[in-house]
Structure 1
């Protein structure tokens, strides 16, 4: 049974260019709305989030995607959360989300520099207290970081080998290993195997 589940994960269709463009446009729209709602200019937000004004403009217009650390800085300054940035209109009563029908997204979708995609287990929506994704990390892929925010992280390695770095300490994990730590601790990870790695990852959404 476990093998069958792993095969299903491995056969996930990569996010198409069209899907990537739609996700980038949605994120850009939400980001612009949050900025304008708070009466902030592009320059003000860029300065506070330690990024260039030109890159921020491209992100708002769906022509670029932020790295995960940059996205965390933006939502902190804007006093919102990452879940809201990707929130879609979903049926609050939905209980089951079928294999093959779950969104597969990348925060770096247009550049594809990190080799990481997130398969949503449950939708980003106000009705859920947790965020849950499967992180798929290609060979030599790594998360840009480290990042830190409010909350708690729990993970289970479904496939492959990863190096998890939490608060400066490295942990080599293989299929079947699990972890838990406070999100306030700086953390990032990378694939140290020769094949794609997958992590079932649950965390409390970062709110500021």
Structure 2
């Protein structure tokens, strides 16, 4: 069953026992924002969606696995990876439902000009990755790092962070997050 972001958010919010107004307040966003997302009238950035999901303690991976059955697959073909990205960023995740798992592995593609959003990401755990191609700006706290193909990173995900492709060519990263809270 292929459901929209808005439908998924409504299901997640209802499972958490929250009204739209309560979720908006808890997430620090306007009441209309939750309503507009649930009605599929706006498509939130990765950081905005993450902020809303943090208010109900739900990782992005679990959000995009709503109404999909957990799999015990061991091998994943390129076309079977779960897309959890938005707006110029593709996050292709190995596996659909990562609840109960210790690791999240992503194949990330940032189109020219794409970034994870003005609000910096923060979540539990640690993350690490390799830049496979292109160039990425990684901001951790107040420090900007320019990473090129072959460069890598490793940091505690609770530190505010943001990824941005400021070039005219796509950038590709392979990353891991543990536990899968992104």
TM-score by length of 2: 0.85
> Comparing both structures, which one devotes a greater share of its residues to helix?
1
Shift of 1:105: 4.4
After TM superposition, the structure 1 stretch with the greater mean CA deviation from structure 2, 75-84 or 148-157, is 75-84
For residue 39 of structure 1, give the secondary structure of its aligned residue in structure 2.
coil
CA deviations on 1:55-109 (whole Å, 9 max, x unpaired) are 21122233433222222222222133222211131422x11011233244433xx
Q: What is residue 99 of structure 1 aligned with on the other side?
A: 78
Q: What is residue 46 of structure 1 aligned with on the other side?
A: 24
Q: CA RMSD in A?
A: 2.1
For residue 79 of structure 2, give the secondary structure of its aligned residue in structure 1.
coil
For residue 43 of structure 1, give the secondary structure of its aligned residue in structure 2.
helix
Q: 1:165 aligns with which of 134, 139, 148?
A: 139
Cα distance change on mapping 1:183 and 1:160 into 2, 3 Å: same
CA deviations on 1:87-143 (whole Å, 9 max, x unpaired) are 131422x11011233244433xxxx3xx21212233333253212111111112222
Q: What is residue 71 of structure 1 aligned with on the other side?
A: 49
Q: How many residues align?
A: 177
Structure of larger gyration radius = 1
Q: 1:122 aligns with which of 73, 95, 98?
A: 95
Q: Tell whether the 8 Å contact from 1:124 to 1:131 is kept in structure 2 after alignment.
A: no
TM-score by length of 1: 0.76
Shift of 1:178: 0.9
Question: Distance between the aligned counterparts of 1:101 and 1:190, measured in 2?
Answer: 26
Question: Distance between the aligned counterparts of 1:104 and 1:30, measured in 2?
Answer: 14
Shift of 1:172: 1.0
Question: Distance between the aligned counterparts of 2:17 and 2:181, measured in 1?
Answer: 22
